[in-house]
Structures are given as structure tokens and as C-alpha cells.
Structure 1
């Protein structure tokens, strides 16, 4: 009886040890920046899903610096991680980081922004071209097909900035009455959005609407517009808490809402499948929606 009890206890201990080992499996998430509410929400979604699936998620902030991004990746690929999730600072610059993971035989899943090189197991993102088209059509409708528009672009070289801009121009360039009077980068940053918009307001006496590639730039531009006393419609992109609040308050016309938390969740779900050797789609789209008051 005692021997049987001892064996049972040992079996339970072994099972517990095995479960603990599985729970200790690690993934890493390297984020372009945590100085942006969108990516904080993405991180939160990834952490919640990783916890639910029994993974330990290491999170590193690249602070919008490709060199730091590469250093972060080189650090985590040596920590026995099953999969690397990365939200690139720049779609071109991230190639070095992806290749570093490839050399270490660590599978890579990209989030929100694609990598223009290296081997990637899967990409989770909104359809940014479609989102840009939604924003473009919204501005055309708001202006009745006639007016002068400013475009605030994201970080040059990122797939998000390129695709949102492409979608936007797919629509507005075909409307004879719409004229894009300025297209300038403000790097997805609120303060830069403010500064760039101030300069554009001084240079352009007539502006009817602004399309910003994210809500942070839109909110910066909105502050500059409010200070100028001019009546200009602003459309953002991402659907961050601050952006949605501005829409509900009636100060921002609209935002094309991404589901940042969902991108993080789906990224971890995809990574878990990759870790188990399952096949995953090359690209998994996350739905978008226009938010207006």
C-alpha cells in the first residue's frame, strides 16, 4: 500500500513537473515602441493570450531604434524562446533582426508591420491598404468631393505607412475635386504631428481636411488646428482610446479603428501553432472599422 502510494505521489510530482516545464515555455515580443498607446494595447493583448495559453512572454521595447531592435532580438534568441514575435520599427531595417532569429533557428511572426526580408512564419496585421481607402473615401464624403487635403505620413519605410498612404491615394487621386496640398512624415508621433501641422498651416492658407496615418499624429495635428482657430476636419487611424474619445467629443471627425489587442492575441495564437509545428497562413488579416460620432 505504501509502495503504491509512493508511486502515485511520484507520478503526480512528475506530472506537475512536466506541466511546469510546459508552462515555462517562452516566447518573446519585441515591440517598436511602448511610447505609443496602440502598441501598449497590442502588448497587453499578447500578454493576456500568452498567459491563457501557458507561455511566458518576454517583452522588449525597441524605442523606435532599429539598432536597439537588433540588439533586443540578438539578446532574446539566446534565451531558449520557442518563437519571436516582432513589431518592426522599420520594414526594411528589421531584416537584420529577422535574419538573426533565422540563424538561431527561432521562428518569427511579425505584427502590424511586415518585414521586407528574412524568413517569417506568419504576419498578423490589419489590411492597411483597405484602411487607407476607407479613410480616403470618408474624407471625400465629408468634403462632398471637393477640397484641399493634408496627409501626415507615418515612419518612412514602414509597411503601415506605405500601405495606408497607398490606400488613401487609391481613392483621393481619382476624385477631380480633391487636391492633396501637402504630404509629410510625422513618424507616427503626436508631438511631431503637432509641429509638422503647425508648419503646414503656415504654408497653406486653405486646408479642408487632414488624414493622419495614426491617431497620435491626428491628435497632434488637431492641437495645432485648434490653436490656429481654423475649421479643418481630421481623420485618424488606429482607434486608440484617445482617438476614439476625440471622435466622441466631436473634435476629430473619425478614426479607422484597428484592433490592437486583437493583433497581439492573434499573434500569440499563431506563434503557439508555429511552436507546435503546425502550419499557419502567411498573412492573417484583422478587421477594421470606421468610428464616427
Structure 2
């Protein structure tokens, strides 16, 4: 009799375990299903690395323009190129129960805990221009930075021939755009150009000027400068002007308004032009697609164009 009771208990336990397993499976399926929302029902949190850079102002404008057209509420924060501030900003947006986060990271590594916090709060994250080194990002909306770096180096080889002396101004250490644009440039430059110096100027115009001044003290015979963004390129251009060097090729990256005006005026040689306003719109559209139940690609390309003053 005792054996029979034990057998009944064992079967009952297995049945209960089976029921629990089925319940958990259903729960996970339900969690995976998106609660659909219309654009006018969404609250979108936006964290921009800095609004002191015209490129990212245009990214923000792309987001808010499309949001206004669809009656979507946006909450925009400016990290002021401070990764700690950005983490706090994202935490604040999470506390405000936004439906989705659009993040343009200051630093791809430093933003990881904030992305993971959003994941735990079941808030989807869309990255713009730069990705996160960890956490779950719904999609990255960006230009192909590696290809852009290669475009700049190839142009220099075409204009100057092989083994010309060139320098590179790098962006913020740790930013994915810094790594990728540098990777693309080096893909070509390591074999076909003579890169005599490569220093960080943090994507900043004033720092670009200062770093370029310092480089010229020991490398006055350079033939070209690749700056990983337009702000640094414009700063480098000022340093070269002050040194009386008007024949040095200066290539930027982004295609912001100041750079395009400089290219048109025949000063800046060129820029690898992104379309920041379109990038912002693509990011918000990805959010709309997600909340309408559509599949969203893990990477969304924003187009690039080589713009020259010739």
C-alpha cells in the first residue's frame, strides 16, 4: 500500500511539474509578444551624447520632427559628452516609464550598464551612430563607419600617391565610431600611406585645433589629415591656416552644416557625409515598426556620401 501511495505521489509530482513547465513556456511566449501601440500613444526617451555638436543636433531634430508629425511625446536629454551623466539621464528616463529608449552613446562601453538596466525594465533600446558593447540593443541605426574610413584613406591615396605622410585625429576613446572609423582608415593606410601620428581630440573642434598645433611642431611636412568627425577637421583646418599650410588635404566625417559650408567655400577638402536628420528619423521609425508588431533589422544603414570641394 505504501508503495502504491508513493507511486501516486510521484506521478502527481511529475504532472504538476509538467503543468508548471507549460505555464512557464506560455509566460515566456507572452513576454516575447510586443504590446502594440500607436505612435501617438508612445513616450520616447532620447539620450544624445552632446547637443554641442551640430551633427547630433540634426539627429535630434530628425527624431523630434517625425515625432511631431505623429503626435509622439519625446523626452530629450543632453549628456554633454559625459558618460556618467548619460548613465544618470538614462536611469531617469527609465524611472519615467518611457516606452522606448533612443540612445546615442558617449562611450560604447560605459553605456552598457544603462542598456542592461533598460533591458531589465523591458524597455527596448535603439542605438544611434554608436552602439553599446553589451546589453540587448533592438537595432543600431548608423552609417558604415568602417567603409567611411576606407573612403577617406582611398581618396588620399588617389590624390597623393602611396606612402604620403598623413595624420589622423581620433574621436572619443571607447566610442564605437572611433574604433570603426579608425579601423577603416587603417585598413587602407597601413599599406598605402605613412601615418606619422594618430591622436585623440575627442570629436571636439577646440581640441582638434590644439592637437593639430602640437602635431605640426614635429611633423610640419604632412600632406593630409583624416579627422574622424567634422568638428575636429574644422579645428585642424584653423591650425593649418595659422601655420600657413594651405596645401594640406583635410578630410572630415559626418557632413554637418559647418563642414559642408567650408567644403563649398573651398577650405575643407571634403567630408564623408552622413545624413544625421535621416538617421534620427530612421531610429524613431524603427520604434514605430517595433510597436506595430513588425520585424526590425538588427542593423539599419544610414547612407554615406563623399562630398568634395572640387
Same fold (TM over 0.5): yes
Counterpart in the other structure of 2:11: none
In the alignment, what sits opposite 1:23?
40
Distance 1:272 1:229 in 2: 51
Deviates more, 1:147-156 or 1:49-58: 49-58
Question: Is residue 208 from structure 1 mapped to residue 257 from structure 2 by the alignment?
Answer: no
Aligned to 2:243: 228
- 1:148 aligned to 162, 165, 168, which one? 165
Measure, in 1, the Cα distance between the counterparts of 2:293 and 2:49. 27
The CA distance in 1 between the partners of 2:137 and 2:178, in whole Å, is 20
Q: Distance in 1 between matches of 2:195 and 2:67?
A: 43
22, 45, 59: which is aligned to 1:42?
A: 59
Structure 1 22/251 Cα, relative in aligned 2: closer, same or farther at 3 Å? closer
**Is the deviation greater in 274-283 or in 209-218?**
274-283
Question: What is the alpha-carbon root mean square deviation over aligned residues?
Answer: 1.2
Q: What CA distance in whole angstroms lies between the structure 2 residues aligned with 1:23 and 1:238?
A: 31
Confirm whether residue 160 of structure 1 aligns to residue 177 of structure 2: yes
Aligned-partner Cα distance in 2 for 1:282–1:54 = 26
Matched residues in 2 for 1:38 and 1:226: separation? 24
CA shift at 1:24, angstroms?
A: 4.7
CA contact 1:107–1:274 (8 Å) conserved in 2: no
Q: Distance in 1 between matches of 2:283 and 2:40?
A: 18
Q: Does 2:137 match 1:129?
A: no
Cα separation, 2, equivalents of 1:36 and 1:103:
31
**How far does residue 22 in structure 1 lie from its aligned partner after superposition?**
6.3
Partner residue in 2 for 1:119:
136
What residue in structure 1 maps to residue 271 of structure 2? 255
**For 1:170, which of 176, 180, 187 is the aligned residue?**
187
Q: Alpha-carbon deviations, 1:180-228, whole Å to 9, x = none?
A: 0000000000000000000001111311000000000000000000000
Q: Is 2:288 aligned against 1:272?
A: yes
CA distance in structure 1 between the partners assigned to 2:39 and 2:308 by the alignment? 45
Give the TM-score, by structure 1 length.
0.90
Task: Report the Cα distance in structure 1 between the residues aligned to 2:104 and 2:111, rounded to whole angstroms.
Answer: 9
Structure 2 equivalent of residue 241 of structure 1: 257
Matched, 1:179 2:194: yes
TM-score under structure 2 length normalisation = 0.85
* Unaligned ranges ≥5, structure 2: 1-37
Alignment of 1:52-67 (within 5 A): 52-67=69-84
Larger CA Rg, structure 1 vs 2: 2
